[in-house]
Structure 1
């Protein structure tokens, strides 16, 4: 009887995991440029860089993510050989708390740091929503004064304008978790036995921009079913309780003073609520004293932030200009940064309260906003491509590339199969190259090269209608080999 042949191992599918993506040259370059601007402003404000591990113990990270229905409560975690649990960081703040607790005797107080890097969340992916994304944070650890919060709000405004968001196209919205806690106290939701309901209320308010008031009110009550049929359980609040919470969300008035007065009414006799209102009043005075009026920073009770570790002021940077979604409908871009005060996060390690506040910028969202605002309208130009017409003269082509590079011009030699010249030009187009350099045997013998202006050629291709016009177009011209660098430099300068 013949033995069964072993099954051939199937080839792996070339695809990234769901919720992840790859980034190519121009995208990476634009991100790096934007991060240099942001971290430069952080540095100007006196913050120092910090790099910490992408992996933390689950114990150190804590359980603060709002997406508690996901595996591992929203983080990517695994068990090590010694049975301890580790996880990829879900933000850059929880690792900072661990770092400060571990090295507090060696660090200045307050400790001011900024950090840049990817974070990972085991959340349900969707359009524009990925499980890995970049953040760029700045935090002050070790001071209770809300002057630190006011400074973060001012710095956030400076960052947005620094990367190219015009004044009037953004607003920094500020609120205080203490005020919300006061409202919940008045609504009868205080105490450890109501923690679950408070968490649902918090997450519901944080979805106001996506769900609207009707959707939030449904989550404050019995719950809601989304368009896909998924059901989210509500907080089970009664009508009067829900009215009080919705009154808090809609307490925004014409100026900061009027908004704070309305919040004072809502918190009533709650001490923690009144303390939160006073802190908001102080922040409003401080940012205004620094020249940041309500056109740049405003008290807005609808901001609550979804993470569970915030204890005081919270803030978000929202872009207010309109974009068009995938269905052609106009909408506002929304939030690109957020943060707040987390006075209890370090305390988990030390047992002593260590006040802290900070902000996190969603790097990929902010970069997408810049592109939509046409701040990066023109794609980043690719390198000048030196084509290969004769395999035996590779050193000649390499010499051209070296001369261009030595003159500060980005350049590369085509390294694919040179047999099909058309493919070389297709490659140059794919690389968004402004210029292609061509030298066959005849040109080499005559001591000349052909310079092909790819950008002009693409434009003329849309306009030229006759063969005679093609003969007269100036998209490709001949120059002396000795003038290659100067002619390329001049052409690039004309193209900007």
Structure 2
């Protein structure tokens, strides 16, 4: 009889497009989320947590501006009733469902913030994962541009709170109505041609004014040498688009004046410019200057999604790419007004505006600036010299923890003391506590400064450290005091 084959062992590997997070990564993200939540809360927003799973019907069109039914999300069909469910791809689509479902019990306007992972079934790439964290704040139920201005101010406050100084970011604001006014001024009636113009506008930051002119006309060669067909507009037809994209002036007033010219006689365009002017005035009244928030017509977000003001937070400092070339870090947050999302459920237009902060990108930016990601200290390690005296060691740990000091007892095999110190090093422990039989009899403990010990080991010359002991014998009653002194010396 043939011997049955053993089932193959599963591969210990992370699924494609996902990653695991350890220690400092998790702690740093938690600290950032807490800091942002405090800003949101200070602005009067309430926390709300929706389900990670929604019905496909409730999510609707997946991933704004992408026409791919049943793609872009992780979805499955229920066996019992045949309903399709999916992991949420952002935090805004669930909000629309929540507000429509509970609107009679919620205040109007409703101000909420939400934080958590979202999932997108897209092709992964460098720095692009299928699961990532978002940190959103939205106001639902008011069409006042004061709500949009408040979101912009709050976004600036969030960036400064987490460690991005005023000189290193800018929140840029535009209005979809202005863009609609430009299209109206062009006199384009063909929907396909209008969509082609919108896609071309979205490439402005990559190809510049000259490239947009070519794409609006006959076309252009891209960097690979491939020819890209143009929209086929005349020079006169294309001029309002160019005027719109290049209308940013030296001041908000100059930019707004240029935008009025770009939209011509369009009523909706004029309405959009007026809203931008109101936002600019409101932000100035709140003490926010153009070094923090500015009107910028080049911001084009979610062309089929947003209905009014749109905003984007961009980090302006330089980083080095994988080839050592300087480039700006780019966008870490964005949002805008979306007045049609709740309407899918209620049949009535419900105005809404909000922002989403990309937590992972913001953390990466802080690491680039060296503001987080430094080697953090682990817990104080209490070594075990006598396994029969585990109660004594646990008492030490309890004293340290009650004093607010992170600490742990070594729980491995205590036979080899050297292995205990190796463990402490691997844990990045700042201090090791030692109490053998002699120390116990004399009422003392040994406190080993592991940070100083590492510096001594790494030093080419011991002269710098020869007058600084890295191990101390202190009375057992002074354990907490001595450990705290060492930790505070490295704070």
Fold similarity call, TM over 0.5 = yes
Instruction: Check whether the contact 1:315–1:338 (CA below 8 A) recurs between aligned residues.
Output: yes
Question: Which SS does the other structure have where 2:70 is aligned?
Answer: helix
Tell me the SS of whatever aligns to 2:104. Answer: coil
Other structure's SS at 2:51 match: coil
Aligned length: 488
> Paired residue for 1:256, among 249, 252, 257?
252
* CA distance 1:353–1:66, shift in 2 (3 Å): closer
Give the equivalent residue in structure 2 for 1:76. 74
Q: Which moved more, 1:86-95 or 1:383-392?
A: 383-392
- Partners in 2 of 1:424 and 1:243 — Cα distance? 73
Q: 1:55 aligned to 53, 56, 71, which one?
A: 53
User: Is this contact kept in 1: 2:65–2:303, CA < 8 A?
Assistant: no
What's the TM-score once normalised by structure 2's chain length? 0.90
Whether the 8 Å CA contact 1:170–1:318 is kept in 2: the answer is yes
What is the distance in 2 between the residues matched to 1:421 and 1:256?
68
- 1:14-50 C-alpha deviation (Å, 9 max, x unpaired): 1211221122222222222222221111111111111
Instruction: Indicate how the Cα distance of structure 1 residues 215 and 382 shifts in structure 2: closer, same or farther if over 3 A, else same.
Output: farther
Alignment of 1:73-222 (within 5 A): 73-81=71-79, 82-190=81-189, 192-194=191-193, 196-197=195-196, 200-201=199-200, 204-205=203-204, 208=205
Task: Name the SS of the counterpart of 2:424 in structure 1.
Answer: helix
Structure 2 vs 1, CA of residues 188 and 78 (structure 1 numbering), >3 Å: closer, same or farther?
Answer: farther
C-alpha distance after superposition, 1:171-215 (max 9, x if no partner)? 11000111122223344555655575366346545xx3x666677
Match of 1:479 among 466, 474, 479: 474
Q: Please give the alpha-carbon distance, in whole angstroms, between the structure 2 residues aligned to 1:123 and 1:250.
A: 33
* Structure 2, unpaired ranges of 5+: none
Partner of 2:344: 348
1:222, 1:72 → 2: CA distance?
Answer: 33
Q: Deviations over 1:152-183 (max 9, x none)?
A: 11111111112222112111100011112222
User: What residue in structure 2 maps to residue 22 of structure 1?
Assistant: 20
SS in 2 for 1:474: coil
| CA distance in structure 2 between the aligned counterparts of 1:25 and 1:215, rounded to whole angstroms | 46
Residue aligned with 1:13, SS:
coil
Q: Is the 8 A contact 2:113 2:138 kept in 1?
A: yes
Q: What is the SS of the residue equivalent to 2:314?
A: strand
Return the alpha-carbon distance in structure 2 between the equivalents of residues 83 and 94 of structure 1: 22
Between the aligned partners of 1:250 and 1:190, the Cα distance in structure 2 is 24
Query: Which aligned pairs between 1:370-389 and structure 2 lie closer than 5 A?
Result: 370-376=366-372, 378-389=374-385
Contact between 1:183 and 1:245, CA under 8 Å: does it hold in 2? yes
TM-score w.r.t. length of structure 1? 0.89
Choose 75-84 or 137-146, whichever is displaced more: 75-84
Q: What is the distance in 1 between the residues matched to 2:440 and 2:469?
A: 21
Shift of 1:217: 6.9
